[in-house]
Amino acid sequence: MSKLAIGFIGLGVMGEPMCRNILAKSGHKVRVFDLDAAPVQRLAALGAESAADAGALVQGCDVVLVSLPSGKLLKELAHVGGLLARMQQGQIFVDLGTSAVRLTQELAAEFAARGVRYLDAPVARTRQAAEAGTLSVMVGGDAATFEQVRPILACCASDITHCGPIGSGQVTKILNNMVLFQTVAALSEAYAIAHHAGFDPKLIFETLAKGSGDSFALRNHGAKAIIPQVFPLRAFSVEYAKKDLSYALELAAEHGIDAAGARRVDALFQQAIDNGLGEPYFPVISTLVDGGV
């Protein structure tokens, strides 16, 4: 691939390490913007060019990647922040965040009307994976555009899947998170039962990891958060998790599916928020199941 100009907007928990990997590995020119000056300054020290605002960033960029916490913010950036008005024919727009499927399809159509190709490419796994460049990316959009962007995504991901047309990346990510959240809720129940029955939850989790109960959630969210009861800030919070789960519940309702397990987890998330636990890492719901709040 010839040298490109890449724009990256949204340098938060996941965005900053993703952008840093692209800057270090791609060989392309990278321009960055975030409302928080600190990550912009850190990336500028590594060779990135900083932009005054999102509208200025997109000018002259071949590919614009955006990593924001919600579809609502993405829509505001597109309409109020000037991205839709400033992007031009031939550019590629990549949404790395998790957004509602219908919103994704609407935005893709609006960008397409301006000749801008659109990919929904939400990412999965942890901040540690973002730092290591081993994320999983689930991409929706046309195959030719996907192939153009794949080498850029490969700088920050070890697994990249083309899931189908626009919106299919979001569907895959939304369902991934729905399954993850329900698994963490099940692990929370297992922890509470073991704890109150007088057994060692750590030993039980370690043994589950050797059997059919093993999972990514067990080895990460269970072993590294629930067992030590460590739920840091600036991780994937309860509020963010509830937002993602709302997309799954919305999709389920549209298609007449009674997602009872997901609704149970949604209630746990709301209980955590009501108890002042909206900002910590979402496995903090285990404290509610265990009776700690």
∠98-104-157 over CA atoms, to 5°? 45
Contact residues for 120 (Cβ-Cβ < 8 A; gap 6+) = 95, 99, 104, 108, 139, 140, 141, 166, 167, 168, 169, 170
pLDDT in tens, 77-107: 999 988 999 999 999 999 999 999 999 999 9
- pLDDT one-digit tens code per residue, 110-125: 999 999 999 999 999 9
Residue type present at position 178: M
The two tokens of residue 215 are: 């999972």
pLDDT of residue 46: 98
Please state, as a whole number, how many other Cβ atoms lie within 10 Å of the Cβ of residue 151.
15
Q: Which two tokens stand for residue 193?
A: 């039962």
> Between 168-196 and 238-254, two packed helices, what is the crossing angle to 10 degrees?
120
Q: What is the DSSP letter of 48?
A: P
Question: pLDDT, tens digit, for every residue of 33-52?
Answer: 999 999 999 999 999 999 99
Give the residue-averaged pLDDT of 229-249: 95
With cut-offs at 50, 70 and 90, classify the pLDDT of residue 62. Answer: very high
> Is 96 within 8 Å of 65 (Cβ atoms)?
yes
- From the number of C-beta atoms within 10 Å of its C-beta (0-12, 13-18, 19+), residue 283 rates as buried
Beta bridge partners of 93: 64, 118
C-alpha span between 189 and 78 (Å, rounded):
41
CA angle 170, 174, 175 (to 5 degrees): 120
Instruction: State the angle between helix axes of 201-208 and 168-196 in degrees (0 to 180), rounded to the nearest 10.
Output: 140
pLDDT for residue 2: 77
What does the pLDDT look like over 10-19, one tens digit per residue?
Answer: 999 999 999 9
Which element (helix H / strand E) includes 252? Answer: helix 238-254
Query: What is the CATH code for 5-164?
Result: 3.40.50.720
Domain 171-289, CATH class in plain words: mainly alpha
258: its two tokens: 């009674």
Beta strand residue intervals within the chain, DSSP E: 5-9, 29-33, 49-50, 63-66, 92-95, 117-120, 123-124, 135-140, 157-164
Q: How many other CB atoms are found less than 10 A from the CB of residue 143?
A: 11
**What letter would DSSP give residue 230?**
-
pLDDT at 1 over 60: no
- Pair of tokens at residue 138: 């689930």
One fold for both 5-164 and 171-289?
A: no
Give pLDDT, residue 101.
95
Residue 95, both tokens: 């949404």
What's the rounded Cα separation, in Å, for the pair 271 and 258? 21
Report pLDDT for 293.
47
Q: What is the mean pLDDT of residues 164-189?
A: 98
Quick one: 174 exposed, middle or buried, by C-beta within 10 A (0-12, 13-18, 19+)?
Answer: buried
pLDDT tens sequence across 205-222: 999 999 999 999 999 999
Q: How far apart are CA 52 and CA 102, in angstroms?
A: 31
Mean pLDDT of 147-169: 98
What pLDDT does 292 receive?
58
In the chain, where are the structural domains located?
5-164, 171-289
Are 165 and 139 within 8 A, CB to CB?
no
pLDDT tier at 233, thresholds 50, 70, 90: very high
pLDDT score of 255 more than 70? yes
Written as six digits, the tokens of 245 are 């789960």
